Amino acid sequence: MSSPSAPLSLDVAVDLTRTGDLWLFRGRSTADHAIRVLTNAPVNHVGMAVVLDDLPPLMWHAELGKGLRDVWTGQHQRGVQLHDLREAVQQWCGRYEQRAWLRQLDTAVTREMEDAVLRTVARLDGTPFPSTVALAGRWARGRIRRAAPAELTYCAEVVAATYTAMGLLDDDRPTNFYDPGMFWSGDEMGLLRGARLGDEIAVAVP
């Protein structure tokens, strides 16, 4: 995989990030590889940036780890979480040994859309992350347009649910239809409101 742009430093990437921008990751672990093989995707994790008012840039995503404090609850937990963006990227690229890319959302994010993001955070934060087998089952159901039970969710579902709440995706496909690779530029997502996603920009993390 290659990036169309020269890598950005983490400092520059964080400064550029706005609500709705995507952060994509590709790792080398067995679980990372299994997710990519299952979904035929170039990446195995996706998170969405949340940048509101005077708060530091945040990362909204789902994962098995609980090494970082969830900004929404103030606790360390597994599953759906809201993290400090810089700390999350450093963890994924350091501890988890991943490569990172930033993909910017090109549309005006209104106050109404920001409110929808916060409602989604309140609804989903803390939802458990499925095992690899359960994740595969959820995704397979989604590909035949069958919604999966709401007691579990994985990273791409979190982003899809949030984009849907923002009015950027329609709801004719269940959130478990999506996998991390669908947020890579090779797939056509059919964004609404005239929105588009830019090319992936590699981020160099020390």
Q: Give the burial string for 23-43 (b: 16+ CB within 10 Å, else e).
A: bbbbbeeeebeebbeebebbb
Q: Which of 63, 126, 55 is nearest to 95 (CA)?
A: 63
Q: Would you state the pLDDT for residue 2?
A: 44
pTM of the model: 0.88
- φ, ψ of residue 185 to 5 degrees: the values are -70, -10
pLDDT single digits (tens) 17-34:
999 999 999 988 666 666
What domains are there in the chain, each with its CATH number?
Answer: 8-204 (3.90.1720.10)
Indicate left, alpha or beta for 27 from its phi (over 0: left) and psi (-120 to 50: alpha): beta
CA distance 82 to 61: 7
- The tens digit of pLDDT for each residue in 158-169 reads 999 999 999 999
- Beta strands 201-204 and 8-9: pairing type? parallel
Residue 37: pLDDT over 70: no
Three-class secondary structure of residue 80 per DSSP? strand
Residue 197, classed as helix, strand or coil, is: strand
